[in-house]
Structure 1
Amino acid sequence: MEKTLATQGDTYFLNLRFILILTVFIGNAIEPLIRQMDSIHALYLWIFTFHMPLFVFVTGYFAKGALGGAAGRKTLLQIGLQYIIFQSLYSILDLTVFQVQHIHHSFFAPYLLLWFLASHVGWRLVTLGMHKFPPAAQIVLSLVLGILVGYLRLDGAWLSFSRTFVYLPFFVIGYHFSFENFVILFTKQKKLIAAAASVILFAIIALWGLGIPEGWLFGSMTYMQLGHPEWYAGIYRIALYGLQFISGAAFLAWVPFRESHMTDLGRRTLYVFLLHGFIIRLAAISGIYSHIQHPAAVLLLIGGAVLLTIALAQPAVRKFAHPVVEPSVTWIMRLERLALGKPL
């Protein structure tokens, strides 16, 4: 039974991971239009209330059993190598092909979506450092750190320092998440209620929430950078955590439990995540957004984002891009053993 539940859990979270990468691509695709159409702005804000918190939550869930030891160390090395490769690729293309102006290129300033890689290293290391505390204490401590980090007087984007701690609670919760208890608690009736809550939340944002500052949802800035130097600014983050937990929990109702083609696509979301930025950049410089002025054109844009997400998650893309997206770190580990005088 445990093995069956573990398999079902992996299936559910792979389905969730693919749906989330869809929302990531759609959110990035529609961002240039949010000041033109209120409906698109509402969709964008709604997506940001759950998609990154849940993505971090899923990442924490799949870190089970591979956080420490040789497997955890190998994962950290691979994330670091991915960061170096894609930070270099995006920066070089920005300077040559895309010719994007006013971007500070530095390995200490993660390039747009690459903040996730920098923060992933942080989540793993901090969670390892808290391993002696019981799960409940880890969650409480991560929430406190997520609130307190906003008071620091530094650039929150530096090595994704702010986002690392702002999203840490979701990683810790995912790491300790019990799918068995989830199946028991998330009955059909509760799933319907959650789905309704998700729709209602979108309606509330569309009607009254368009003034929500996106900076708070991004998690990349300190309170000072957000224009709130008040001593009580942490209360706003507490409220935001409440919104994200409600929105994230409600969105789980849309995720199927059954294995399907979506489950297989969910195994290759890393390729979509790291490669879709090139497409977004190309779209931005192509001038396509100047022609999107009607809802029908927006629907075509969203449809294109869905199709491209599916395309980037295909096995053929993995076969072609594997050396770059999932680079081997065996050679690094061999060099380390040689340096330490250990046998290979």
Structure 2
Amino acid sequence: MTFPRQGTAPAAPDIRTAPSGDTAGRRSGYQRDPYFDNAKFAAALLVVVGHVWAEFDDASAVVDAAYKTVYAFHMPVFVFITGYFSRGFTRSPEKFRTLLPTLVVPYLIFIVPYRAQIVLLRGEPSEVAELFMPHYLMWFLVALVCWRLSAPLWAHLRHPVAVAVVVSLGAGLWIWAEDGTLSRMAGLLPFFVLGLVIDPERVRRLRRPATRPLGVAVLVAAPIAFYAWQHGPFDLPSIDMRLLWWDSGYEEMGYSALEGMAGRATALLTAAVLGAAFLAAMPRGRTWYTELGTRTMYVYLLHGLVVKTFDYTGVLALPAVRTPLGIVAVTLAAVALGVLLSTRPVKTATRWAVEPRARWLLMTGPRSGSGTRPLTGASQ
């Protein structure tokens, strides 16, 4: 994931993309790029698997290494793709009309069951004031609204990525970095900005046939490196997962300012390298899961309710589940869950919540083709 030549945001990619509905895409004349749908689906699966592995990172050194590998890049690459397909926000005020119906309303719908799980399944009291506070994976919708609102600013900066990196490094020093949502928003900002301003030609270079073996090799080597670092014969400092979660300030992690910034800079660089390898390893043409990659927000918003149900009820803590065979079974179940939530029947049943018909909240005004397309997270 190379840094772009600094300047204003380049033109949009040559290969335009359609909304998650195929018919709308045909009506508007847009053509989806299967490469990005493949990448989105793979990234969404990593989100599901990563949230499941979070419950088992202390059960196995192998799972711990795999867990650290996934968390080292899966959200950064998800945010990068989101930025890449948020370019319209730098040029069209009409795009901002979509934020309320496609992000704010789904947030208000989903935060209720996520908060209700805490009360009903964990038996913890909840204040009314906490009802709409971000919980678990809901931080992403809040961050996405703020990132897209800031999009025009980055198009006018001479060195947007460098400024975003400075913000990310400096954010860990601020007291509000103890708020996980704000900390993630600032920490992951460079990946959104990079996606927003990168020259599409540089992304195309990752898609060359020669880059795929290298990308696969890097992804295979990464968990081996994490395993050797954490469990090898050398006395190396432990990897603080909060650096890979992007949810904590340096003081909270027990770091000095320089140590914290060095740790975050390392996390940024690691995510960029692994993210580039991930994109290089993606299939270029249509696959059996290409269409599933058009429904990543369904996977993202719905899987957390399933994972947290098993977590809060203690199923993931059962001794039988924490055996090597049990961990493999749970991992396969997580992949199956990701596939299931990407299917058309699930979309049909839950579209009212994930992509609600909420445009009635907006004033009647001129519409552009791009402004009426649903924005499903890191989707096209």
Corresponding residue number in structure 1 for 2:170: 148
After superposition, what is the alpha-carbon deviation per residue over 1:187-225, rounded to whole angstroms, capped at 9, x for unaligned? 333332222122112111012136311111011111111
Q: Deviations over 1:126-162 (max 9, x none)?
A: 222233224xx1111111101111110125326x111
Q: Using the alignment, how far apart are the partners of 1:176 and 1:154 within structure 2? A: 27
What residue is the counterpart of 1:208 in the other structure? 229
- Residue ranges of structure 2 left out of the alignment (5+ in a row): 1-11, 18-30, 232-237, 367-380
The within-5 A match list for 1:57-136 is 57-66=80-89, 68-96=92-120, 98-101=121-124, 106=130, 109-134=133-158
In the aligned structure 2, how far is the partner of 1:120 from the partner of 1:263? 24
- Post-superposition Cα deviations, 1:101-128, rounded to whole Å, max 9, x if no partner, equal 4878725641110010111011112222
| 1:166 lines up with 2:194 in the alignment | no
For 1:176, the equivalent position in structure 2 comes to 197
Note the alpha carbon deviations across 1:255-308, whole angstroms, 9 max, x for none: 111112311101111011001011102212152431223222211111111111
User: SS of the residue aligned with 1:79?
Assistant: helix
Task: Tell me if 1:289 matches 2:333.
Answer: no
- 2:333 counterpart (300, 304, 308): 304
Q: Which residue of the partner structure matches residue 330 of structure 1? A: 359
SS at 1:201 equivalent = helix
- Cα distance between partner residues in 1 of 2:109 and 2:174: 30
Distance 1:28 1:3 in 2: 32
| Aligned Cα root-mean-square deviation (Å) | 2.5
Structure-1-length-normalised TM-score:
0.88
Q: Which has the higher helix share?
A: 1
Mark the CA change 1:336 to 1:192 in structure 2 (over 3 Å): closer, same or farther.
closer
Residue 171 to residue 230, structure 1, CA distance change in 2 (3 Å): closer
Please give the alpha-carbon distance, in whole angstroms, between the structure 1 residues aligned to 2:144 and 2:13.
28
Aligned equivalent of 2:270: 243
For the 8 Å contact 1:110–1:157, the answer to whether it is kept is no
Q: How far apart, in 1, do the equivalents of 2:270 and 2:240 lie?
A: 14
CA contact (8 A) 2:183 2:248 kept: yes
- Which of 210, 214, 221 is residue 248 of structure 2 equivalent to? 221
Q: How far apart are residue 185 of structure 1 and its match? A: 5.6
The answer to whether the Cα contact below 8 Å between 1:272 and 1:309 also exists between their aligned partners in 2 is yes
Question: Structure 1 stretch 99-108 or stretch 213-222: which is displaced more?
Answer: 99-108
Q: Which runs of 5+ in 1 are unaligned?
A: 338-344
**C-alpha distance in 2 between matches for 1:4 and 1:60:** 16
CA distance in 1, matches of 2:206, 2:307: 39
Determine if contact 1:22/1:309 at 8 Å carries over to the other structure: yes
- What TM-score do the two structures reach when normalised by structure 2? 0.80
* Cα distance in 2 between the residues matched to 1:317 and 1:23: 19
Aligned pairs for 1:228-267 within 5 A: 228-267=255-294
Rounded Cα–Cα distance in structure 1 between residues aligned with 2:32 and 2:194: 15
Distance 1:20 1:213 in 2: 23
Point out 4+ residue stretches in structure 1 off by more than 4 angstroms.
2-9, 102-105
Q: What is the letter of the counterpart of residue 35 of structure 2?
A: Y
1:313 aligns with 2:339: no
